Structure 1
């Protein structure tokens, strides 16, 4: 892998993570700009490492599977419970999605990275008002 490919993959992961993180920070959520950017970059780095290590023989998907598991533990730390209420599920899911964004970018799927980033933003921006409306019904 050429250095320029490595740099482009990492830059795309960072930019996509920043876009998601900016929206989360704008909404005053606990995992914002830096967290989502770092999660996307970290996932991309693991995928890039896996690609480098398995160029001739091996299975790049094994590290991606471990990224999913590791982010699951990170997400579990974001979720907390107060009485009957549970908080942080959306934040944990967003961090999980940011890791998927990083995996896509690390694997070189740049168009798919931006499509998925846009889809995540749409979920947050469009469904948040509906979520608030439904919560008021209770």
Structure 2
């Protein structure tokens, strides 16, 4: 196999596995941050951390790169959010972007098993809480209410 030091094929596979799982959940729901974006966020985060470890063995230097990664990914997440009819939309997708970067950073810090475990926790939150909200009407209040589609007089489907 081609030597790609300071990167490792096992770490890249972990990035792609975690990114695909989270991205698939988002894409199947028609949300932003699908498979490609999720995989690239994790892979990019991994690459930055792996390069910083290669450039300097000083923990402080690596911590600075991690800090800048956290700040930078915040801007990406903020770009996913928007307001619509006075409500902020995309907060879960923005939080998912932040978690994806954390997963990539964990892989970059050689925590592959932990990253896979937290990918499963993330999926449990994304799928499980949605199921809970659909099952219990008490959880469907305010911004968490289920939107019902209805037809406008000109035939367009609108969200109520």
Fold agreement, TM-score > 0.5: yes
Structure 1 stretches of 4+ moved >4 Å: none
Tell me the residue number matched to 1:135: 140
TM value normalised by structure 2: 0.78
Higher Cα Rg, which structure: 2
In structure 2, stretches of 5+ residues that fail to align are: 146-160
Greater helix content? 1
TM value normalised by structure 1: 0.90
User: Is 1:122 matched with 2:124?
Assistant: yes
1:125 Cα deviation after fit: 1.0
Alignment of 1:95-114 (within 5 A): 95-114=97-116
Greater relative contact order (CA < 8 Å, ≥ 6 in sequence) = 1
**Equivalenced residues, count:** 138
Alignment RMSD: 2.2
Alignment of 1:1-138 (within 5 A): 3=5, 6-55=8-57, 59-132=61-134, 133=137, 134-135=139-140
- Greater shift after overlay, 54-63 or 104-113? 54-63
In structure 1, stretches of 5+ residues that fail to align are: none
1:14 Cα deviation after fit: 1.9
